[in-house]
Amino acid sequence: MTKLLSLVLMFWLISPTAIANSLTAKVINVGDGDTITVNQGGKKVKVRMGCIDSPELKQGFVGEASRHRLQALLPSGTPVTLRVIDTDQYGRTVAEVFKGSQSINLVMVQEGQAVIYREYFSGCRGSKDQYEQAELRAKQRKLAFWRQGNPMMPWDFRRGITASAPRSASRSTKCDPSYPDLCLPPGGPDFDCKDVSARRFRVLPPDPHHFDGDANGIGCEGK
C-alpha cells in the first residue's frame, strides 16, 4: 500500500499538468504592487500576481508604497517560481509568485500592501483560509492600505476612473498641501517616515505628519 501511494505521488509530481503549471524565471522589474516582468526561458513575460489586487499608482501614497514593498521583496535578478493560474485579457500570465517556498502574493496581503481579489480568487482555493486570515490580521493591525480611514478598493478606484469620475481633479482636494512631492490624503491617518518610500522631499507648514523634525523644509532626511 505504501509503495502504491509512493508511485501515485511520484506520478503526480512529474505529471504534465504539474510541470505545465509551474515555471521558473528571474525577475526583471516590478511594475506596481501586483505586476512584475520576468525572464522566463529567455523571453520577457509580464506577470499579473493572481488572487490579489494592489492599490493603483494613481491612488497616491498607498499605490507607491505597495510598489516599493514589492520591489524590496523581488529585486531585479531574483529567481522565482510561478504557479500559473491563467492568462488574462491583456495577455499577461496570471500566477502565484514564489521566492523559495514563500508565496509573495500572500506576503503582500499579510503586510497590508494588497487585498484579496475575490472576484478572481478561484485560482487560490487551496490556500483560501491562509489569505483570508492574513487579510483579517492586516485589517485589525491597520497595516499599510488598511491605515486609511475609508480605503477605496483598487477595483472601485478603477471603475470610478473609467466611468464618470474626473481624471484631473485639483491636487489640493486629494493631497495634503504640506507635501507637494507626495500625495498623502488630507486629514487622513498619521504617517511616519517608515510608512513612506520617499526621502528628502519638500515639506511646507503645518507639516501634520511631523516629517520635518528640524524644520528645514526637508522631510525624512536619512531615515
pLDDT in tens, 54-111: 999 988 889 999 999 999 999 999 999 999 999 999 999 999 999 999 999 999 999 9
Whether residue 166 is predicted with pLDDT greater than 70 in this model: the reply is no
From residue 210, alpha-carbon distances to 141, 146, 178, 193 in Å are 22, 21, 10, 9
Q: Are strands 218-219 and 201-202 parallel, antiparallel or unpaired?
A: antiparallel
* SS3 assignment, position 205: coil
Q: State the Cα–Cα distance between residues 75 and 36, nearest whole angstrom.
A: 10
* Domain range list for the chain: 20-147, 171-223
Quickly tell me which residue has 486609511 as its cell.
148
Query: What's the whole-model pTM score?
Result: 0.67
Domain covering 20-147 assigned CATH 1.10.150.120 in the classification: no
Whether residue 175 is predicted with pLDDT greater than 90 in this model: the reply is no
Residue 138 burial class via C-beta count within 10 angstroms: exposed 0-12, middle 13-18, buried 19 and up: buried
- How many residues would you count in the chain? 223
For the segment 96-123, what is each residue's pLDDT rounded down to a tens digit?
Answer: 999 999 999 999 999 999 999 998 999 9
The helix/strand count (H/E) of the chain reads as: 7, 10
For the segment 20-43, what is each residue's pLDDT rounded down to a tens digit?
Answer: 478 999 999 999 999 999 999 999
CB of 121 within 8 A of CB of 128? yes
**Of 23, 9, 131, 27, nearest in space to 83 by CA:** 23
